């Protein structure tokens, strides 16, 4: 008896639909330049602009940036204040450009620990750009993957308690939909700059089949050429999603970028 033909799920993407970036290296960049830490974060904002423009050129639909993690509250108070002030400055300056470029802005993460002024700016920015359809920029602020999963479980538990959902009905689709990015495609590619090779509590559920690209470039040095290199690397990978995987295909890869100034 002949065995049924197995179907291989292999996806060679011309470009990722959704890129997530862990922007690491601002403080080290400032130190190497002999500058105070806030200068590194300001340089990081310039890298955000370049990367967003490069994503538009590459046809990326969603760009998610890890702007401030739940753990970042543990940094020196002066640095946290500078980061929050920089975020307010960014929102006041950049929303009009996002409007012109037809880009929707969204935030994921806790908001109750942020200042009222920043919360108002975030809400105002989302409202002003919510009808834009060209692409989506997601900023993860006071975000943690464990918090996201815990919050999703609470939502499902509330639905069960109210009688709108039976416990044995809960499946992956329910959990996925209860997460912060449940209405967006999962990240195809995650880029981390700065040379470290960990995901630091970012999008834990969503990264199940994400391809990873680790760059030694510090975030302020990451530009459109660096993004193009990451996307080119992604194009060369086979995405089998666990079906008849070939040894080495789609495996975790490291880039060999050397930071400028080394």
Residues marked as catalytic:
24, 72
d(CA 35, CA 28) in angstroms, rounded, equals 10
Q: Determine contact, residues 46/89, Cβ cutoff 8 Å.
A: no
d(CA 41, CA 33) in angstroms, rounded, equals 13
- Cβ within 8 Å of residue 172, ≥6 positions away: none
Q: Determine contact, residues 100/172, Cβ cutoff 8 Å.
A: no
d(CA 123, CA 157) in angstroms, rounded, equals 27
Phi-psi region of 194 (alpha: psi -120 to 50; beta: other; left: phi over 0): left
Phi and psi dihedrals of 58, rounded to 5? -80, -5
d(CA 95, CA 14) in angstroms, rounded, equals 29
d(CA 262, CA 259) in angstroms, rounded, equals 6
Q: Which residue has the tokens 């089998």?
A: 240
């Amino acid at each position: 008896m002949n065995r049924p033909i197995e179907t291989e799920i292999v996806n060679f993407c011309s470009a990722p639909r959704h890129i997530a970036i862990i922007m690491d290296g601002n403080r080290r960049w400032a130190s190497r330049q002999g500058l105070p830490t806030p200068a590194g974060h300001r340089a990081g904002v310039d890298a955000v602009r370049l990367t967003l423009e490069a994503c538009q050129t590459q046809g990326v639909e969603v760009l998610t940036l890890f702007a401030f993690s739940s753990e970042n509250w543990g940094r020196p108070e002066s640095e946290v204040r500078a980061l929050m002030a920089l975020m307010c400055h960014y929102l006041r300056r950049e929303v009009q450009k996002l409007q012109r470029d037809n880009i929707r802005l969204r935030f994921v993460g806790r908001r109750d620990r942020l200042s009222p002024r920043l919360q108002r700016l975030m809400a105002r920015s989302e409202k002003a750009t919510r009808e834009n359809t060209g692409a989506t920029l997601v900023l993860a602020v006071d975000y943690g993957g464990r918090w996201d999963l815990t919050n999703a479980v609470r939502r499902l538990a509330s639905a069960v308690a109210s009688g709108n959902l039976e416990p044995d009905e809960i499946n992956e689709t329910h959990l996925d939909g209860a997460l912060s990015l449940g209405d967006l495609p999962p990240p195809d590619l995650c880029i981390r700059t700065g040379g470290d090779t960990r995901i630091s509590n970012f999008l834990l559920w969503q990264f199940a089949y994400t391809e990873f690209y680790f760059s030694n470039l510090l975030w302020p040095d990451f530009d459109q050429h660096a993004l193009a290199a990451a996307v080119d690397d992604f194009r060369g990978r086979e995405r089998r999603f666990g079906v008849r995987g070939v040894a080495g295909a789609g495996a975790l890869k490291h880039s060999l970028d050397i930071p400028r100034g080394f």
